[in-house]
Amino acid sequence: MIPQTELHSADWQSELRAAETDGTALLARLNLTPRQMGFSAVAAREFSVLVPLPYLQRITPGDPNDPLLRQVLATSEETLVKPGYSDDPVGETGDTIRHPGIIQKYHGRVLLILASGCAINCRYCFRRHFPYEDNRQSRREWLQALDAIAADTSITEVILSGGDPLLVSDQRLTELIQAIADIGHVKRLRVHTRLPVVIPSRVTPGLVSALTATRLRSVLVIHSNHARELDEEVGAAMRRLRAAGVDLLNQSVLLKGVNDRASTLAALSEQLFAIGVMPYYLHLLDKVRGASHFDVSEQAGKALIAAVSALLPGYLVPKLVREEAGQPAKSAIAPLATETADRC
């Protein structure tokens, strides 16, 4: 189902509304069959299929191993019960929710949940079971949330998240960002989004203006896992943001069958830099129920990042990290020695 939320222009809205939501139809478009791909209607009922057309068009028809398709197709692997996998793998419920819609796990930063939907449903999403219904906010509650941020002078950065925060209209984003900028002790605004990657037309003049019209230093963190996600339209969108003064970073998740080769990760970093985005984090998989088939071991991740380090200058090598519930920061993971990494 297309998320019912406040949308902006007919252009990117129409692309979102045209997203494929039927797994069988998705595979038919790609000349593949449900049986061939292990499609699971049960998995799709628990976490729906949602693939916008700009992203779908980057998937190679007839290729059952396409790394982009693997990220979005519900398969029977999601129904496997694996020890150690849970609905809340990074501890985002309970005491970390300071106020409906506000999550604080780390000192000096708070995360605002702006939207409960995304433009694409990634099968490995660590928030696929997040209780969004309990964190919806009315306008009055938004004002209360901002009051809570204003009352805590230790908060220097506000992070907009979701779902995908860019499902919110440019007008509402402009109003919210200005209200955040009016809180004197907040220095930075960070936006975590996959929307410009999957529907690059979302980078409208209004969005660029919303991110750059205040005194806040704006950082946009996109989420791309493979170089083929970054086509010419995505590149043009990123260059518009960068030219306007928005700092651009990328976070990836290390995923089996998607990007678990050093050459693939190196190609992603090269393509990101070519469009003005700096590689930032490479996350080991958050152990969310339904995603165990994507897991790459920590040892393999160490070897991979060491191998990438041998291929690229240091500034293009993302930091390998794991997020652990209750920890004061993400846990950085050191690469293996070079001689071990050479085997990757």
Q: Looking at residue 12, what is its pLDDT?
A: 92
Answer yes or no: is pLDDT of 99 > 70.
Answer: no
Give the integer Cα–Cα distance in Å for 161 and 101.
10
For 279, the 3-state DSSP assignment is strand
Span 50-58, mean pLDDT?
Answer: 97
Span 105-124, mean pLDDT?
Answer: 89
Contact assessment for residue 19 and residue 53, using Cβ atoms and an 8 Å cutoff? yes
Distance of CA 305 to the CA centre of its chain: 20
Tokens of 269: 């970093």
Count CB neighbours of 188 within 10 A. 16
344 is in an annotated binding site: no
Span 322-329, mean pLDDT?
Answer: 72
When pLDDT is cut at 50, 70 and 90, the band that residue 4 belongs to is very low
Q: Looking at residue 129, what is its pLDDT?
A: 67
118 is in an annotated binding site: yes
Span 80-89, mean pLDDT?
Answer: 84
Give the integer Cα–Cα distance in Å for 320 and 333.
5
Contact assessment for residue 172 and residue 201, using Cβ atoms and an 8 Å cutoff? no
Tokens of 290: 């339904």
122 is in an annotated binding site: yes
Give the integer Cα–Cα distance in Å for 10 and 7.
9
pLDDT in tens, 161-220: 988 999 999 999 999 999 999 999 999 999 999 999 999 999 999 999 999 999 999 999
When pLDDT is cut at 50, 70 and 90, the band that residue 324 belongs to is confident
Q: Where in the chain is the domain with CATH 3.20.20.70?
A: 95-341
Looking at domain 95-341, which of 3.40.190.10, 3.20.20.70, 3.30.420.40, 3.40.50.300 is its CATH number? Answer: 3.20.20.70
Span 242-267, mean pLDDT?
Answer: 98
Contact assessment for residue 132 and residue 116, using Cβ atoms and an 8 Å cutoff? yes
